[in-house]
Amino acid sequence: MKSLWNDRHASVFRDDLLGLRVYSSRLLGQNPDLVLHGGGNTSVKITETNLFGETEELLYVKGSGWDLATIQAEGFAPVRMKALLQMVTLPELSDSEMVKLQRAAMTDPYAPNPSVEAILHAILPFRFVDHTHADAVVTVSNTPEGARRIQEIYGEEVLIVPYVMPGFVLAQKVYALTQNVQWDKLTGIILLQHGVFTFHDEAKESYLRMIRLVTLAERYLKRKKAGFVRSRVRPSIDLHYLARLRKAVAAKTGSAVIVSTDTSPEAVGFSSLKNVSSLVSRGPLTPDHIIRTKRTAMVAGADPVKSVEQFTASYEKYFNRFTNGKLTMLDSAPRWAVWPGRGILHFGKTLKDARIVQDITRHTIRAIQQAEKLGGWKALPQKALFDVEYWELEQAKLKKGGIGKIFQGKIAIVTGAASGIGKACVEALLSEGAVVAALDMRKDIGKIFYAQEILPLQCDVTREAAVKKAIEKTVLHFGGLDMLVSNAGVFTKSAELTELDEATWNVSMAVNLNSHRLMLKYCLPFLEHGLDPAVVIIGSKNVPAPGPAAAAYSAAKAALTQLARVAALESGRKGIRVNVVHPNAVFDTAIWTDEVLRKRAAHYGLTVEAYKKNNVLHTEVRSKDVARMVVSMLGPAFSKTTGAQVPVDGGNERII
């Protein structure tokens, strides 16, 4: 554990205690071995003068919802110390009442809710207080002789506190244990199976104490040769199994999910352990992780659906065993799964959620193996874990609810994604919550999209091997496939039939027809396991209203529309919808250069502006207009429609 403290950087905050608190908090938050995804909390005590000229001591404590790695000054809630010190003397206080009282004691009504550990921070008689869930320390305490080993490491320089529920009960426990303590002899407090507190009147010293205490635990693990395995085997992944498993998990979650697959040497090594089923059934690294990961992982068996059914049945039994009859059961689906010999799978309603679970499990599987070398991995008893998972504060969040975006957790592929209609479709799908594989033959496709929810893939959709590989990469990356926007196309040069050359004809057939056939061939088997699966194919106005000198383009698009109709007939029994959008005169695409626009407008004796709006509605049709229709056809509004052809053209007289 290396110190990141920089005196020069810290000197900027010489006269700014809150700024210094932000600085050192970020140092802690930047190290995932100390803090993961909103875990841990920090505080600073500051004396201020209020509007009435009264001096009062405030505790600026990390606010709920903020992450130490990126926290800013406004992420700290200012709470009156007097109120917090009064609270700890109450004989009892529910956590909901505690949150209410803490909020009432704040001097800024717009600040976030104070951490549930605010009272504990207040009773520690030091200006700066740091709290982390350090992996090494928690690993040592999560063993049969955890308390003895912690004592062996630290001797008398830390106060060891047996596990109790976070919040008011923990604050009361520490308050009782520290009534006669000699603070000058302590450098920290170890909360068994929870984490570490350090404190000092100087921010630097409190931070360095944290680094030192965690380093001692790390060195202890090293002396005991407590390591973890790495596999050298590259696992083979059954992508159809993965897609079926995702669908089964989504059914139990009650919404679509993304799967983040970890096939790293560490993940494969852990998944290959003979006793892995026993290891992942004992509980999480720290109790606060249970909100993200649930109590246990699922072990994926030969039948993915049966595996999920067994996990959910076990979870429901666990809930029924400990509920008081007034609690609302959370969904029973797993949040992560060990796939024996292949790696670890992580499930989330968003890609961010799945990646958070992956970060947590990466630390968990190391800790489990290290603890096994110290006598065995031993998490908290099931009842204690249940109390955290069904904490009244977490139950209160369920009532607030919230409606997700229509494609949250859903997975799409868009071809021809680098520009025009394809790019607009990617952006529209992303805005509605989907993750998207963006396929295009352009080499710079990776520089066009930066969001982690977009997987940019260079792919020549006329090459069968390239199409197959791109679809497999998509399924492996996100866990399945729900939607296909088959958009890639090319407008070949104009030529009457007597002048039409073979090369022009073949290019149009390859791009405008056969590439879509290849996409359907390799996407449909995965869409069969998708969630409300749907395909939208981008056709053309030239299908119902072809023009002269466009035989290659028009014939290919007409054949494509017929292909889509056959696909709708064949896929309907599998619940897959296939529809077609026919755009016309969409001028903000790569096909329509300024020169082409001028020539076409002149051909009809119109200005460029008039040519753009040369339709019944006298409106310009843009790529985003087509994308809006595509998104609608992929969504619930068209859930009962397949085989349809919808124009997006402002109204074309010849078609009407």
Give 96-106 pLDDT, tens digit per residue.
999 999 999 99
Q: What pLDDT does residue 398 have?
A: 62
CA distance 59 to 76: 9
Q: What percent of the residues of the chain are helix, what percent strand, and what percent coil, each to the nearest 5?
A: 45, 15, 40
Q: Residue 349's beta-bridge partner residues?
A: none
How does residue 397 score in pLDDT terms, banded at 50, 70 and 90? low
How does residue 394 score in pLDDT terms, banded at 50, 70 and 90? confident
CA distance 382 to 394: 17
Percent of the chain residues past pLDDT 70, beyond the cut:
99
pLDDT tens sequence across 51-86: 899 999 999 999 998 999 999 999 999 999 999 999
The pTM of the full predicted model, rounded to 2 decimals, is 0.94
Q: What pLDDT does residue 557 have?
A: 98
- Do residues 160 and 95 touch, judged by C-beta distance below 8 A? no
Q: What pLDDT does residue 293 have?
A: 95
CA distance 604 to 292: 62
- Do residues 478 and 258 touch, judged by C-beta distance below 8 A? yes
pLDDT tens sequence across 224-256: 999 899 999 999 999 999 999 999 999 999 999
Q: Read off the pLDDT of each residue in 561-578 and give the average, rounded to a whole number.
A: 98
The pLDDT of residue 600 is above 90: no
CA distance 223 to 108: 49
pLDDT tens sequence across 470-511: 999 999 999 999 999 999 999 888 899 999 999 999 999 999
Q: Read off the pLDDT of each residue in 349-370 and give the average, rounded to a whole number.
A: 97
pLDDT tens sequence across 508-559: 999 999 999 999 999 999 999 999 999 999 999 999 999 899 999 999 999 9
User: What are the tokens at 550?
Assistant: 């466009």
Q: What pLDDT does residue 493 have?
A: 87
pLDDT tens sequence across 165-198: 999 999 999 999 999 999 999 999 999 999 999 9
CA distance 268 to 265: 5
pLDDT tens sequence across 131-173: 999 999 999 999 999 999 999 999 999 999 999 999 999 999 9
Q: What pLDDT does residue 37 have?
A: 87
Q: What pLDDT does residue 401 have?
A: 61
